[in-house]
Structure 1
Amino acid sequence: MNLLQGGNRHQIARRRKIDFCLHLLFAAATSVGVIALCALLIDIIIDGISRLQPGLFENFPSRRAERAGMKSAIVGSMYMLCIMLPISFVLGVGAAIWLEEYAGKNRFTRLIQLNISTLAGVPSIVYGILGLTLFVRLLMLQRSLLAGALTMTILVLPIIIVSAQEALRAVPKSRRDASYALGANRWQTVSRAVLPSALPGILTGVILAMSRAIGETAPLIMIGALTYVAFLPKHMLDQFTVMPIQIYNWLSRPQPEFHELAAAGIIVLLAMLLLMNFAAILLRNKFSKIS
């Protein structure tokens, strides 16, 4: 009996040592990324804080650093998001509803699901090539704001579809059964019982997808978004630029003043991303309480 107790104590002590070592290993791995991120943020803030002035938001790009701003890039990014958001929401959520609530579980739908999951991991520059071929050349939208928004819509659609599907799957089956028991048809069940419960997860996925889109550069470079735009787009077929492209243009110049402007632009872009992520958290919490 004493031998068994001694053996158990030895095993427990050994497991605790292994658990402690793994805990240290995982903490060290996490701290490497956190420390690197903090170092980058500190370096960017030190370089760009002096350029966070009203002129950065009021002026257009210029060859002179003291006159340069990113007004056209900020407005172009916001316009692109305003075009993307309704299109992406309708197409992405509609596709998720069809796959989860209407389509049968057969080989065809499994093939579609596999393709959607695969497209979510495709490099963004591939979507740029697709947008260049389809929207710029085939549909002759030229290098316009609409072509850029549609290209970015294709980029974020797989992410929205997958996140919306996960949100729909998380709704308990008992809600659907209760709705059918009360005499509701399939669409009434989906629109009045399933969607309100899944809405927090759907909105979170949509906003996070928009956050990814606002920071993408490669697809827009492929379709020819300009680096120097000294005007605001008046309609969807005008030329445009966005914040990541403007930042890239400033970083490619040798003058240190433009590097400071790029750091200030990165701070503005990070602030927008943090606000969008914060909005996703607020919407999720709000609709979770309602549902």
Structure 2
Amino acid sequence: MDFRIFTEPQQGASYDDLLAVARAAEKLGFDGFFRSDHFMRMGSADGLPGPTDAWTTLAGLARETSRIRLGTLMTSATFRHPAILAVQAAQVDHMSGGRVELGIGAGWFEAEHRAFGIPFPPKLFDRFEEQLAIITGLWDTPDGVSFTFRGDHYTLEDNPALPKPLQSELPIIIGGNGPTRTPEFVARFANEYNAAFPELDAVRGRFGTIRDTCERLERNPDDLVYSAALVACVGSTEEEFRRRASIIGRDPQELREHGICGTPSEAADRIGAFVREGVERFYLQILDVNDLDHIELIAREVIAAL
């Protein structure tokens, strides 16, 4: 098992806020710091002081941390041209000493696209397939050889296929619940499958679909990491748990049913239940990025106990 902190900066966080969380996560022994890739808040949050760009943030953190893995859950394929995203991710990988992972999805938040003037095209999954083919193709092209791609949505002519990531294989994370195309994309392109906020009783089925698709496409399903992103809200006492739930605007009972939440012993038991369903890696969604004591409590009384 490994445990990563996952943040949602579009709800309201500056770069300095995120740096403080990343440094705390590294100091406390977490395995990674990940962030969403959004430019517009969701729900009732005020979003102040305004959005931060995911890959600009990761470039800064690459130079200001030394151990933890860094990445996105998930970069929207609609936000950046795939060849440019390949350059960005490879560059940040070098800046971090080889600690970057690319979580990427097809895109979904149409109102966000309208607000920022980003095209929200039809056939998102067809474009996503080409995006994945371009990124992996650029990184897999031997040094000194150019890369050409001709698809229905993207065309590249004699791209120099540089820079390469520092890692011999920069991990790609794909999530989603689709029964057909998502499993195929995972089997063809990914190093990790991520179940986003799954119900406990649905995890084994989701993972099973991925495994079956890998076998059908003649890939060893054990080559993949199977992970889950889950909201975390823990208090050393019931009163403290309820206070933290109130701050993030969530019902305590709902949190207990859907996340890694409650007292430390409850949270540890919940992690154990997900492990028994096949989860190997946890992304703990921290919604109040100013509460560093919360992250310390999870490290000290939940993860350490496991």
Higher RCO, Cα 8 Å, sep 6+: 1
Tell me if both proteins adopt one fold, taking TM over 0.5 as the criterion: no
Compute the TM-score of the two structures, normalised by the length of structure 2: 0.22
Q: Going by fraction, where is strand more abundant, 1 or 2?
A: 2
Compute the TM-score of the two structures, normalised by the length of structure 1: 0.23
Q: Going by fraction, where is helix more abundant, 1 or 2?
A: 1
Name the larger-Rg structure. 1
